[in-house]
A and B are shown apart, each in its own frame.
Chain A
């Protein structure tokens, strides 16, 4: 815990804080998109996106995906040694890939719903986490 406080004082983000930020974002995406296409299809798409990116960002493999939603609990246990920027990049790629899948499936219908509510937050996260 002292390490986190120290990093925050220096203006850096800890892995835990980045995970919390993306946990909230993924929850919002889940709630919005599952209302449109259902939990089973969304769970399939998220799992497929994780499979696709898991080789490049191995920490994503500890994301738990089921029809009940996405859980980062296991990931939080496993990711303490992963650099916050790496976590951020992994989640950015995951969200971008999901957005690509949504667009492949339903052209703009899903992304149009997501954009005003979620993508602004993704951009905000990018702004505060990415190094200048």
Chain B
């Protein structure tokens, strides 16, 4: 009876730790800290389907062959539960080795997986992943282990679902719902950070402002639904044309803006010109016809343009875009240092 009370206390503190975690790594860590007080196991695993993450917390003497068996077993069980095959090559594996056993009980280098318990992380009929306990001993787990483990699994699933909801709210706040690009609000926040970074470290930073030429004509001729399709297609071309560290955002209507961290003027011109040519050479399916579209692009860059604020950088890119439009469209213009409209940045 005393043992059950002790286990219930451990279970309670495990659940508490899981429910107050702020990210999946924290959930796994808190479980990993508490589980050895509840079960005798060689390896504990959490698989999160959404991000294809597989966390393993293992006894430090766990041989690689055992780890591989554990991974294969978890993928196999999840595939049966989730009724979908999982591509093992795409799984991101994170392994943490810990001293789970006393020195005299270290694992045999040839230890094999002899028993396991796996439970789906299921909430409201949806499977989010699975959790597993593994052992190199046969029949290592009994009904009481399963009961305790299911309570932990239930709490973990509820916490992961909470994370998903938070992340979807976060996504709504930073992404443009039509194009899937970052929205203007995120762009402004991110530019603030990148501008601070470059001003303090004197590293380059460029902005490219992009506008679709004669987009109003597309909307007027083919309707807004087709116009939206064009915006989505151009968004995906923009995303495909930049580097991993670049930020592409929808600035408004048919205007987009690119933050190119650490890109000097020459490099940002190459990127902008690549985008311009790509769009020029793409045939867009609009309604039942195919049309050609072009872009005008304006570039501003720090330190080349001796700008002192992020607002100044935006204003210069906007001015360069204006020059591109005025110069005949379908071209990339770099801010020339002369403001032909509006006020110069301070």
C-alpha gap A45/B122 in the complex (Å): 9
For chain B residues 150-167, which have a beta carbon within 8 Å of chain A? Answer: 150-151, 153-154, 157
Main secondary structure of the interface of A (DSSP, over half): helix
For chain A residues 14-56, which have a beta carbon within 8 Å of chain B? Answer: 35-38, 40-41, 43-45, 47-48, 51-52
**A36 adjacent to B143 (CB under 8 Å):** yes
**B147 adjacent to A35 (CB under 8 Å):** yes
A106: Cβ under 8 A from any B Cβ:
yes
**B83 adjacent to A41 (CB under 8 Å):** no
Pick from A40, A52, A112: contact of B123, CB under 8 Å:
A40
A109: Cβ under 8 A from any B Cβ:
yes
**B116 adjacent to A37 (CB under 8 Å):** no
B199: Cβ under 8 A from any A Cβ:
no
A1: Cβ under 8 A from any B Cβ:
no
User: Please, what's the 1-or-0 string for B112-154, where 1 marks a CB less than 8 Å from any CB in chain A?
Assistant: 0001111110110101000000000000011101110011011
Contact partners of B154 in chain A: CB under 8 A: 38, 40-41
How many residues of chain A get a CB closer than 8 Å to chain B's CBs? 22
**A109 adjacent to B142 (CB under 8 Å):** yes
How big is chain B's contact interface, by range? 20 to 34
The count of A-to-B residue pairs whose CB atoms sit within 8 angstroms is 64
**A44 adjacent to B122 (CB under 8 Å):** yes
**B153 adjacent to A41 (CB under 8 Å):** yes
Q: How far is the CB of B49 from chain A (nearest CB, A)?
A: 13
Contact partners of B116 in chain A: CB under 8 A: 107
**A44 adjacent to B127 (CB under 8 Å):** yes
Pick from B120, B142, B143: contact of A41, CB under 8 Å:
B120
B77: Cβ under 8 A from any A Cβ:
yes
Of chain A, the residue at the smallest CB distance from B133 is A106
User: Please, what's the 1-or-0 string for B64-100, where 1 marks a CB less than 8 Å from any CB in chain A?
Assistant: 0000000000000100110100000000000000000
Contact partners of A48 in chain B: CB under 8 A: 81, 83
Contact partners of A40 in chain B: CB under 8 A: 122-123, 154, 157
Assuming A104-B80, A112-B143, what are 6 further A-B pairs, CB within 8 angstroms?
A: A35-B147, A36-B147, A40-B157, A41-B120, A41-B150, A104-B77
The 8 closest A-B CB pairs, nearest first, are A44-B122, A37-B150, A38-B150, A105-B118, A36-B146, A106-B117, A38-B154, A104-B80
Interface pairs (16), CB distance under 8 Å: A36-B143, A36-B146, A37-B146, A37-B150, A41-B153, A48-B81, A101-B81, A104-B80, A105-B120, A106-B118, A106-B141, A106-B146, A107-B117, A109-B117, A109-B145, A113-B143
